[in-house]
Amino acid sequence: MRKTLIIIGIILAAFSMQAQNWYQLGLKVSTQIPLVRAYSDVDYLSTLRTPNIGFYFRGGQYVFGEIGIGYQYFRSRFDVTQPDGSEISDMVQTHYLVIPIKAVGEVPITQKIAFLPFVGVIYQPLLKVSDNILGYNKTNIESQWALLTAGFDFRFGFITLGADYRYSFQNYFRNKSGRKPQYIGISAGVIF
């Protein structure tokens, strides 16, 4: 992974030859598709809806540093296997503050079109968990997430379209072992 990040940095430095504005402001909306659904031996994520909206500021010339703030809403249906083998399901709604910090390159393709690869981390504190029959709450769902993100955007004038990968450093639950959440995201936005 470290080698990949170094190679991306070298490519960005080598191919970002056109001077740009030293700052950019933007708005982005996105959604994530889960790659991991079994969050523990008994907790299975059956459906997920994840609208996300956020603003960001970028500063730099060839490679930009980016910081943002946003809101993420997870509407998840979980199926939980009980000790007697029966299964219960419920909808769980979680709300997060999203603070991404990224390095973003800009590789011009034409004067109006550019490729923008990025890598960074996302700090995602849990704000609220809905009432549910599964017993999920702020004490057993991880409340301080840190995620690794890598992806790309394409800029068409002031419009951006992109995709990213997110990997959580923490398990979904504090009190259960299991796989760490991973997502593929798609996004659209505008640059001011």
Q: What is the pLDDT of residues 48-89, one digit of tens each?
A: 999 999 999 999 888 999 999 999 999 999 999 998 989 999
| Structural contact between residues 155 and 113, judged by C-beta atoms closer than 8 angstroms | yes
Please report the beta strands in the chain, taking only residues with DSSP state E, as ranges in sequence order. Answer: 23-34, 43-49, 52-60, 63-81, 87-105, 107-108, 113-129, 144-156, 159-168, 182-191
Q: Tell me how far apart the alpha carbons of residues 85 and 74 are, in angstroms, rounded to a whole number.
A: 27
| Number of domains forming the structure of the chain | 1
Which CATH number characterizes residue 94's domain?
2.40.160.20
Confidence class for position 192, pLDDT limits 50, 70, 90: confident
Domain that holds residue 45: 2-191
- Summarised one tens digit per residue, pLDDT across range 4-49 is 666 656 555 544 444 456 888 999 999 999 999 999 889 999 999 9
